[in-house]
């Protein structure tokens, strides 16, 4: 089920490799220094070409894979710089396209409107010397005017000071213990995680164990999908709650997402099992939330209540849950994001209210994973901010520009985590850049497995040497490193 989503990420991030206007960059500390290189002076690949209106020039022709421009920048002093890409949308609509530094993905450049405006990737580390800065094609249909580098601002002094108070009233002792410990670790440690449908001894966890010489991830990632009524009606039998009970009992932490399969009347018959994707359901969240589809609203409540029963089993067993519902909404590929932010926010608030106040689920630590500021429901119902990043294959960078973007979602301070990742980041780069994700949780399948039938680790996305480096780093937390979080500690 993740393959389709991942392919969309990778299409955005595949480079149209694209060399050559030299740009000297001033040393860090010269706050007013802004230096610029014109995109039309770079080297083009694919269909990209230089265009002009007679007064100024730009690069355009970003249409498909292989279309891009590359510029060479010569940095005099190593340090952190913000990259400002001056872009315009060819048709005025929203566009996102990959940015690479020395061939490695460092984030997305976004633009809206036909006028040129800056898209900023903050806090990118440059060593002294020449570097290749590339703009490739994901969504395409943009015009690129220039790239500018300016020294980055220092990180906020209070970046990792998180008040260990949960959003739910009277949280369970275990949830309180877990969140307090997460806050204590934040900025000092990175907590390992792995999605594994098979539970503690599932193939992904076995692959990690085999690759690392005997370590297990601290966090076990699971999914509520098979408890959704439209899947239960077709024989679905969830095992994730049993896996969660076992992992917590053995000292681990459990994380749940919910690929919420739409109710049966709204499913495409031949793809009912993919009913969480917008394209395979006719479920219209706006109509439901506006009261135009009362039957749909009743089914919405039924589904929430069904999942609440499972979460209540965990509550009653003293198991706290890192709870990440309605994820990746701003992408629009899931039905809960297809109607825009306003209906989504109403659904988030409905879900939070019903699980918290109707079902009394005080064991939930709420992770918001909407991935766009316009979709943020507010600090009162969010405990942790999560980002899902699939930067390509063997990309071990810290992804610091995305981390920095997360700081803008709220005026306060929230813990920031990699709620899904394709590649395990290099701990040295994460701590060098100062943007320390509180945890990560690698997706399953070939992101870690060589084969769907065997527990041999795959090296397509993360090499075994990098897994060993992460799990062997004293700043990384594995399952064996977790303190006793049970009871009233």
| Distance from C-alpha of 86 to C-alpha of 42, rounded to nearest angstrom | 14
Check the CA dihedral 286-371-323-231 and report its sign.
Answer: positive
Dihedral angle at the C-alpha atoms of 458, 463, 467, 472, nearest 10 degrees? 140
Interatomic CA distance for residues 479 and 457, integer angstroms: 19
Q: What is the residue whose two structure tokens read 């590649």?
A: 423
Q: Which residues pair with 267 in a beta bridge?
A: 281
Give dist(CA 109, CA 106) in Å, integer.
10
Pairing of strands 57-60, 49-52: antiparallel
Tokens matching residue 369: 């994973």
Beta bridge partners of 108: 98
Question: CB neighbours of 428 closer than 8 A, spacing ≥ 6?
Answer: none
Tell me how far apart the alpha carbons of residues 158 and 413 are, in angstroms, rounded to a whole number.
Answer: 8
Catalytic residue among 328, 342, 411, 474: 328
Residue 420 annotated as catalytic: yes
Q: How far is it, in rounded angstroms, from Cα 83 to Cα 108?
A: 11
Token pair belonging to 341: 């932010």
Tokens 């795959």 appear where?
458
The structure tokens listed for 35 are 């230096």
Two tokens at 51? 């265009």
The yes-or-no answer on residue 474 being catalytic is no
Task: State the catalytic residue, choosing from 38, 148, 174, 420.
Answer: 420
Which residues are designated catalytic?
Answer: 328, 420
């Amino acid at each position: 089920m993740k393959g389709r989503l991942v392919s969309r990420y990778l299409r955005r991030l595949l480079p149209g490799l694209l060399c050559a206007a030299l740009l000297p960059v001033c040393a860090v500390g010269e706050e007013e220094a802004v230096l610029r290189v014109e995109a039309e002076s770079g080297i083009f690949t694919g269909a990209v070409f230089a265009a002009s209106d007679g007064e100024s020039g730009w690069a355009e022709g970003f249409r498909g894979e292989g279309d891009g421009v590359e510029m060479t920048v010569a940095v005099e002093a190593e340090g952190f710089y913000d990259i400002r890409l001056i872009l315009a949308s060819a048709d005025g609509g929203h566009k996102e396209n990959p940015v690479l530094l020395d061939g490695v993905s460092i984030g997305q450049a976004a633009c809206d409107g036909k006028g040129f405006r800056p898209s900023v990737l903050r806090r990118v580390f440059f060593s002294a010397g020449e570097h290749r800065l590339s703009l490739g094609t994901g969504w395409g249909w943009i015009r690129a005017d220039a790239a500018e580098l300016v020294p980055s601002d220092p990180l906020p002094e209070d970046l990792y000071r998180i008040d260990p108070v949960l959003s739910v009233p009277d949280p369970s002792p275990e949830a309180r213990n877990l969140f307090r410990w997460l806050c204590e670790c934040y900025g000092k440690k990175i907590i390992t995680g792995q999605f594994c449908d098979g539970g503690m001894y599932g193939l992904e966890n076995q692959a990690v164990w085999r690759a690392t010489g005997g370590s297990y991830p601290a966090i076990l990632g699971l999914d509520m999908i098979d408890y959704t009524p439209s899947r239960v009606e077709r024989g679905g039998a969830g095992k994730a709650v049993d896996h969660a009970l076992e992992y917590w009992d053995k000292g681990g932490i459990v994380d749940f997402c919910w690929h919420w399969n739409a109710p049966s009347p709204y499913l495409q018959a031949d793809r009912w099992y993919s009913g969480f994707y917008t394209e395979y359901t006719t479920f219209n969240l706006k109509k439901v939330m506006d009261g135009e589809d009362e039957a749909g609203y009743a089914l919405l409540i039924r589904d929430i209540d069904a999942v609440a029963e499972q979460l209540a089993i965990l509550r009653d067993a003293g198991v706290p849950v890192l709870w990440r519902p309605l994820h990746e909404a701003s992408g629009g590929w899931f039905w809960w994001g297809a109607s825009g932010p306003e209906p989504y926010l109403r659904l988030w608030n409905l879900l939070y209210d019903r699980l918290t106040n109707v079902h009394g689920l005080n064991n939930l630590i709420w992770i918001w994973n909407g991935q766009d500021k316009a979709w943020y429901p507010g600090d009162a119902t969010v405990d942790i901010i999560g980002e899902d990043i699939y930067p390509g294959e063997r990309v071990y960078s810290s992804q610091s520009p995305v981390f920095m973007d997360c700081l803008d979602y709220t005026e306060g301070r929230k813990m920031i985590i990699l709620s899904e990742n394709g590649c395990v980041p290099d701990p040295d780069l994460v701590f060098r850049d100062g943007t320390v994700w509180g945890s990560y949780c690698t997706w399953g399948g070939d992101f870690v497995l060589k084969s769907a039938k065997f527990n041999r680790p795959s090296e397509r996305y993360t090499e075994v040497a990098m897994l060993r480096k992460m799990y062997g780093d004293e700043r990384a937390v594995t399952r064996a490193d977790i303190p006793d979080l049970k009871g009233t500690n």
